[in-house]
Structure 1
């Protein structure tokens, strides 16, 4: 994401984003085709603006992504680096803390990517060593 994209988001939402978010988005740590880019920490300005419709300026909160389902992840605009859950369905997880710090959240996304990669490798290995009669693998 470019600086102009981030400034556009700020202008559209009438907010000022914390420096830690700004810096991360300028030096985005995930590949374009990753789960993080698509959901957990979206780098699509239009998507980010759209998912922030759950908040008003008075909430002083900013959605950064989702789990691909009913959870939106958000930060407070007060400089606190905690990441929270906004549950669209209002479960017990609503408004709970996902990560105590921004770096912890980024590490969680990296770990999720590692799990996905390992699952793909395991699937390839199973297919490579399947028996002739195991057509479902």
Structure 2
């Protein structure tokens, strides 16, 4: 994402994004097609605008991503770096804290990405070492 994309998002939503978010997006830390890039911190203005359809300008919130399901992750536009969960199904975690800081949220994304990569590695290993009769692997 570049500064023009960020300016377009701010203009369309009528908000001002915090510096910590803008700096992260201008120096995007996750690989293309990763879980982080696709869901938890999308690097696409279109995806971000779509995610933010649940908030109005008056809410003073900005959805930064999702878990790929019913959870949206958002920040309040109050200068604090806390990341919250907006549960579209309004469960007990609705509006709870996902990470107490932006740095902790980015660290969580990296952890999730590592877990996915490890699962994929193990699956490839199982397929490689399966016995001739293990057709279900």
What TM bracket, shorter-length normalisation? over 0.9
1:135 maps to 135
CA distance in 1, matches of 2:13, 2:128: 50
- Please state if 1:44 is matched with 2:44: yes
Q: SS of the residue aligned with 2:114?
A: helix
> For the aligned residues, what is the CA RMSD?
0.7
What's the offset of the Cα at 1:50? 1.4
TM-score, with structure 2 as normaliser: 0.98
TM-score, with structure 1 as normaliser: 0.98
CA distance in 2, matches of 1:81, 1:25: 15
CA distance in 1, matches of 2:52, 2:119: 32
Runs of 4+ off more than 4 Å: none
CA distance in 2, matches of 1:114, 1:97: 22
1:84 maps to 84
1:67 maps to 67
What's the offset of the Cα at 1:51? 1.3
What's the offset of the Cα at 1:5? 0.2
1:120 maps to 120
Q: SS of the residue aligned with 2:22?
A: helix
CA distance in 1, matches of 2:38, 2:18: 21
- Structure 1, unmatched stretches of 5+, are none
2:18 maps to 18
CA distance in 2, matches of 1:128, 1:95: 43
